[in-house]
Amino acid sequence: MPYAHDRERSLDPADWGDFRALGHRMVDDMAAWLEGLDERPVWQPMPPEVRQRLRAPVPIRADGPERAYQAFRQDVLDYPLGNAHPRFWGWVIGSGTPVGMLGQLLAGAVNTNVGGAECAAVHVEAQVLAWLKELMGFPTDAGGLLVSGASVANLTAIAVARHDRAPRVRRTGVHSLERPLTLYASTETHSSVQRALEALGLGAEALRSTPVRKDGTADVEAMRRMILADRAAGQEPFAVVGNAGTVNTGAIDDLSALADLCAAEGLWFHVDGAFGALAALSPRLRPRLRGMDRADSLAFDLHKWLSAPYGTGCVLVRDAATHREAFALTPAYLARSHGRGLSSSEVWLSDFGLELSRPFRALPVWLSLKAYGVEEFARVIEQNVAQARELGGMVEAEDTLELLAPVSLNVVCFRWSGGNDGSALDAINREILVRLQERGVAVLSSTVLEGRFALRAALVGHRTRREDLELVVREVQAEGAAIAGNRMAAA
Ligand SMILES: *Cc1c(COP(=O)(O)O)cnc(C)c1O
């Protein structure tokens, strides 16, 4: 085995030629895999023997890179979540790009720890953040950070909001608060906001869920009334979270009205734009996000509608000083200010969040934005919005299908409703969902809207085509009819 050296050990290959050959083959294989996605099932269950092999004992002795790669091909590659596939529309999951994949390869090669010490990677992230601020309508001197996703972006922003309102909490903890801090967000808000409040010690009850209107957007007047009532009752309202694209239906809150409310009541205005904020890349869709540029902070994902590799989200905070004050802590072993050398960085990214060691998540994004250009990403986003409208139209055109929420962006909620037996529709649609998944035809997810089980398609992938929409509409109808027929026969 050429990978073991005789004397001093290194994990580098003994023969770089072998390494190159393996690497080239991996790139060839993955290109073929991506090229042929269409012909494979979106998803398939893992056979028991594959699961068994993934419970192997810890490998004490070397198997070598070649056999490790074969194990990947045999046990991992054929059983993906499926989100790279053109007919994966479950939850809100981006599909990634070939250039993003190569970006991860390059980032892996240099393997920089992007905590802040002076090196090109720090400037690449600063560059990506500067681009994102511009695209989102934030000032150039705003604070910002790439994080693992919108959940952590929401947590980071809400921690800054709490710090802005009650800076002493960093030292004395939440029990030193005289009055409980409360945050306002509609009932359609993503669960990561509640989890952030829990993790910050403010508690789930600090989330004051406010009603939505028929279109799924926050009822701003109801929110105002709740804020005033809570304040009168001794609570301390400190923040509002607006939604730019709710996870259930893609509804966009009236962000201008929420910004006005926050200005009038002295509250921090955070926007969760996990996927919807990216609509700002399109000049045609941007007006829908009016008011987002007035937010104190904004959370959004790059791994969803910017098709970046998984583990890439962003938080922007209008006031960089407050952002930094909420997190910065510099022990002696992290001393800076030498003015020269590696400790000379002006901005330490690790001051803006909880991660000290940080991956080079900026590189695939930087590479992709250069390679594809913002225009191309905007076209994909517009395409998904058009496809959602198209799918909504196909659903409405069929007697056996029913649209369950207005299509406001890229999310379509519908159900098969062809039978007479209304009470069975939830069960039938649940079965349709699972059958389409198990057959590898399409992955949709589900939600419950006004007590009704809904099939939910969120279009964020760049590989989806019109034929895919047509196919899924046909398959939902066929499965619905078959399941309903079986139930009748059994009854
Ligand atoms: C996906 C999503 C989140 C959570 O983002 P992660 O990247 O999964 O952490 C938060 N809010 C909304 C609206 C989302 O769609």
State how far the Cα of 368 lies from the Cα of 132, in Å rounded to an integer. Answer: 13
Report yes or no: 283 and 289 within 8 Å, Cβ to Cβ.
no
* Residue among 247, 252, 307, 384 whose CB has most ligand 1 atoms within 8 A, to mutate: 247
Question: What's residue 474's pLDDT?
Answer: 98
Question: What's residue 55's pLDDT?
Answer: 97
Any atom of ligand 1 within 6 Å of the Cβ of 274: yes
* Residue among 91, 92, 193, 315 whose CB has most ligand 1 atoms within 8 A, to mutate: 92
State how far the Cα of 45 lies from the Cα of 33, in Å rounded to an integer. Answer: 18
Any atom of ligand 1 within 6 Å of the Cβ of 313: yes
Question: What's residue 420's pLDDT?
Answer: 64
CA atoms within 13 A on the CB side of 370: 10
State how far the Cα of 158 lies from the Cα of 192, in Å rounded to an integer. Answer: 11
The string of DSSP codes covering 428-456 is HHHHHHHHHHHTTS-B-EEEEETTEEEEE
Any atom of ligand 1 within 6 Å of the Cβ of 247: yes
Is 235 a residue whose pLDDT tops 90? yes
pLDDT classification of 99: cutoffs 50, 70, 90: very high
Q: Report the separation in Å between the CA atom of 267 and the middle of ligand 1, taken as the mean of its atom positions.
A: 23
Q: pLDDT, tens digit, for every residue of 188-234?
A: 999 999 999 999 999 999 999 999 999 999 999 999 999 999 999 99
Which residues make beta-bridge pairs with 271?
242, 298
Mean pLDDT of the region 306-323: 98
Q: pLDDT, tens digit, for every residue of 399-433?
A: 999 999 999 999 999 999 996 667 899 999 999 99
Question: What's residue 304's pLDDT?
Answer: 98
| Burial (CB count within 10 angstroms: exposed 0-12, middle 13-18, buried 19+), residue 165 | middle
Q: Report the separation in Å between the CA atom of 301 and the middle of ligand 1, taken as the mean of its atom positions.
A: 7
pLDDT classification of 2: cutoffs 50, 70, 90: low
Question: What's residue 123's pLDDT?
Answer: 97
Any atom of ligand 1 within 6 Å of the Cβ of 310: no
Any atom of ligand 1 within 6 Å of the Cβ of 151: yes
Any atom of ligand 1 within 6 Å of the Cβ of 275: yes
Is 3 a residue whose pLDDT tops 60? no
Any atom of ligand 1 within 6 Å of the Cβ of 368: no
Question: What's residue 339's pLDDT?
Answer: 83
Contacts of 33 (CB under 8 A, 6+ apart): 77
The set of long-range contacts for 65-69, using a CB threshold of 8 Å and a minimum separation of 24, is 65/3, 65/13, 65/19, 65/22, 66/22, 69/22, 69/26
Question: What's residue 487's pLDDT?
Answer: 86
Question: What's residue 267's pLDDT?
Answer: 99
Q: Report the separation in Å between the CA atom of 193 and the middle of ligand 1, taken as the mean of its atom positions.
A: 10
Q: Report residue 313: phi and psi, to 5°.
A: -130, 180
Q: pLDDT, tens digit, for every residue of 315-373?
A: 999 999 999 999 999 888 888 877 889 988 888 999 999 999 999 999 999 999 999 99
State how far the Cα of 135 lies from the Cα of 381, in Å rounded to an integer. Answer: 14
